[in-house]
Amino acid sequence: MTKRVYMLPLWIRLWHWSNALAIITLSVTGISLHFSNPNLPLVEFSLAARIHNVAGVTLAVLYSVFVIGNILTGNWWQYVPKPPGIIQRCLKQMQYYGSGVFKGEEEPFPPTPEVNFNALQAVTYWSIMYLVMPVVILTGLVFLYPQFAPDRLFGLDGLLPIAMAHYLGAAVILLFMVSHIYLGTMGPKISSLFKMMWTGWYEH
């Protein structure tokens, strides 16, 4: 018999899909700006720059909504890795993702309304949302307003370390997004977790 548990309020789901759209837009335009052949661009340069800037500001606004919403609702606690036995729980979850799921084993730490994320997810999401994302947003804003960039930073031209941090952070987020989509298929059914992000209900 299928059990249904309400996991995700509407504001989280709206933020999640809006955030995903902004990141995809930034990824496509960012890759076009940085790597494409001028004679064969993924997106025409000036258009890509305008879209990238708008999407970047949108991401910054969405991030503010995420932080404020988590503080006001108490949802921030979901993203805090819980230390007791965290290494063992992360290893057990990695074993499940690496082999257990393919053997039909039970999810070792299924989500509940009280604990949405297993230990590995909590560590990953906390690192992405509270370490990497602020770096990408702040460095992106410096690119948008270069007059605020320092003349020199770490002995280099002020914008060079900022650019390196922005590109590295963006690459980490892009890799996270790809793995996030893949791991989203590892629910009780291949569609379970994606469906939960639309409806808020976890079925198992």
pLDDT in tens, 76-90: 999 988 888 999 999
pLDDT in tens, 109-138: 888 888 889 999 999 999 999 999 999 999
> Which residues are bridge partners to 157 per DSSP?
152
Mean pLDDT of 162-191: 92
Domain boundaries, the chain: 4-203
H helices within the chain, ranges in order? Answer: 10-35, 45-73, 86-98, 119-127, 133-144, 159-183, 192-199
CATH ID of 4-203, from 2.60.120.620, 1.10.10.10, 3.60.15.10, 1.20.950.20: 1.20.950.20
For residue 114, give the amino acid letter: E
* pLDDT of the residue at 59: 97
- Mean pLDDT (the chain, rounded): 90
Angle between helices 192-199 and 10-35 (to 10 degrees): 110
pLDDT band of residue 1 (cuts 50, 70, 90) is low
Q: Is 178 exposed, middle or buried (0-12, 13-18, 19+ CB in 10 A)?
A: exposed
Percent of the chain's residues with pLDDT above 70: 98
pLDDT band of residue 64 (cuts 50, 70, 90) is very high
Given a contact cutoff of 8 angstroms between Cβ atoms, the answer to whether 73 and 113 are in contact is no
pLDDT band of residue 195 (cuts 50, 70, 90) is very high
Inform me whether the pLDDT recorded for 139 exceeds 70.
yes
Inform me whether the pLDDT recorded for 204 exceeds 80.
no
